[in-house]
Amino acid sequence: MESDPRLPVISLFSGAGGLDLAVERVADPPLLRPDEASRGPFRVAIATDYEPQALDTLALNLPGASTLPGDIRETPTSELLSVGGLSQGDAALVVGGPPCTPFSKSGFWLAEKRESRDPNASLLEEYVRVVAQARPEAFVLENVQALTYKTHEAHFRQLLQALAELGYNPQWKTLLAADFGVPQLRKRVFIVGRRDGKAFRFPEPTHAGPSETTRTWDMSKLPHVTAAQAFDGLATSAEAGELVEGKYGELAAEVPGGQNYLWHTPRYGGRDAFEWRSRYWTFLLRLAPDKPSSTLQAQPGPYVGPFHWENVRNSDGDLRARRLRVPELLRLMTFPDNFRLMGTRADIQRQLGNAVPLELGKAVLHALSIQLGYVDAETEADDQLVRLSNDSVLIS
């Protein structure tokens, strides 16, 4: 069998494979969802995660990737390399989004050897350990924006220092997914470093628009992709348990698109059912068709949105809000329509809610591909200019 000429990638904390999909689809044109990925420079050689079901989803969609379920704290780097058919220095990239747990007091970078591993060691530390021992050409680390908050400042600085001491010159930036064509106002921090020590330059946003913290924006850029645009042409069918029933079912159905429980306070036009700012923002939240979605939740409660802006009738003929259907969730994550997921509806929601939106991951990895010399920047720029000027392509 002919060997795959693409460069191998190690994926940590892979989940359902959002960042992995971006690795293998980095050559796809922006905001297109082809059933088959365009031939790009990278392939996922080995993916690992604590959750076997998420890896089953990944394997369905990236059958060429080897998977290794298990706790990363108990998985030696040598095992990752062996399962992936790699040696130290072979991997072009290490990618992944480790959950942000507290740093251990005795970090991997503070001593060359430890007689025993700290069972409470940070998963961020484990990411550093694999980078240190696998020596990839570059790494991409994705995490929640809260990692950069003042409450985590010491941990964040420690992480950056550890990666810098390995010679990777880490650069970081918080990116808004909607600024890269994702119909979702999701913020994530990315840390990128290169083994040669050259500073990574983050991609410039292609889109702009209002958000929670933005009231003015660059009007020369394309407008944010809206939920209605994302759903355009999508045929869906009813899913079991999609209706919002129970204690707040009637109230949820009365909330207009783009509003939440605050509609049912004295300041708005609904019922006087709640105190002002007495609930989380996502409580009874409905999508606004003319705006991007709010961040998709991984484990929403029964009355946590965003729900669709349209109501449907239940068996009694009463109007009810409905939850987003799986094909709609895929569109809001900019995943291909033929992406398949394992598990129950709750499992699927968790996997997608924890994933990296495809177009956001692609934007970062595409910029890295250019800067590492694996993609022709001039050709790509010309092609992308044509694509981004074609609105029909952007929302098809």
Active-site positions read 100
- Secondary structure of the chain in HEC code, one letter for each residue: CCCCCCEEEEEECCCCCHHHHHHHCCCCCCCCCCCCCCCCCEEEEEEEECCHHHHHHHHHHCCCCEEEECCHHHCCHHHHHHHCCCCCCCCCEEEECCCCCCCCCCCHHHCCCCCCCCCCCCHHHHHHHHHHHHCCCEEEEEEEHHHHCHHHHHHHHHHHHHHHHCCCCCEEEEEEHHHHCCCECCEEEEEEEECCCCCCCCCCCCEECCECCECCCCCCCEECCCHHHHHCCCCCCCCCCCECCCCCHHHHHHCCCCCCHHHHCCCCCCCCCCCCCCCCCCECCECCCCCCECCCCCCCCCCECCECCCEEECCCCCEEEECCCHHHHHHHCCCCCCCCCCCCHHHHHHHHHCCCCHHHHHHHHHHHHHHCCCCCHHHHHHHHHHHHCCHHHHCC
